[in-house]
Amino acid sequence: MTTRVLVADDQDLVRTGLSMILDAQPDIEVVGQAADGKAAVELAHRLRPDVCLVDIRMPGLDGIEVTELLAGRGVVDPIAVVVITTFDLDEYVHGALRAGARGFLLKDAGPELLVQAVHAAAVGDALIAPNITRRLLATLAAGASSKRRTQPIEPLTQREEEVLKLVAVGRTNAEIAAELFISLTTAKTHVANLLAKIGARNRVEIAMWAYDTGRVGH
């Protein structure tokens, strides 16, 4: 199954480069390119790609505004967004994730991580460059939240608590399966149960919740 991608970046060279990397993959097709945020939203609504790869700093609408319009909580039929930028700044990461992004990458992350992020977003998962994840979650843990929900909708099992902690430190489903000596299918089931029990949209929100409730330190 081919993952259809829209690439939005105001720099022609970057946009072309990202598109070439993705188009070189046998199961990814770049179906459109946009040079500004407004065009990105219009193209996304018209083409309905599986994933939008969006730069943070663009004229018209920036990447966070684009993300809110395509993937925000109030959007009826959201489109997966992966944010990519040259700027490794906390406020951008926070803003992108709050807006509903399913990934956050730096432009120097490399082709492999870029492809992984697109694939993850296409199946409803989330991928953030590991160096960003650690710092982001530590920052969130350091700041007290006034809206903490310390209990899940249903109590977590002991195994779910173990999986939760591994998700929070950036382990993939395959790594979780290997570490806990369980099958990949079982690992995926535990992650799905966590999403339902704590009301999270993706793995990043699971990790945030784990830090926010003190289950994982920093």
pLDDT digits (tens, 9 = 90+) for 78-100: 999 999 988 777 678 778 877 88
List, for the chain, all residue ranges whose pLDDT scores fall below the cut of 50.
Answer: 144-147
Ranges for all domains in the chain classified under CATH 1.10.10.10? 145-213
Residues in CB range of 79: below 8 A, 6 or more apart: 44, 48, 49, 50, 51, 52, 70, 71
Q: What is the pLDDT of residue 213?
A: 82
- Specify the CATH architecture of the domain 3-139: 3-Layer(aba) Sandwich (3.40)
Q: What is the pLDDT of residue 144?
A: 45
Q: What is the pLDDT of residue 32?
A: 97
Cβ atoms of residues 105 and 82 within 8 Å: yes
Cβ atoms of residues 93 and 70 within 8 Å: no
**145-213: CATH, from 1.10.10.10, 3.30.70.2190, 3.40.228.10, 1.10.4160.10:** 1.10.10.10
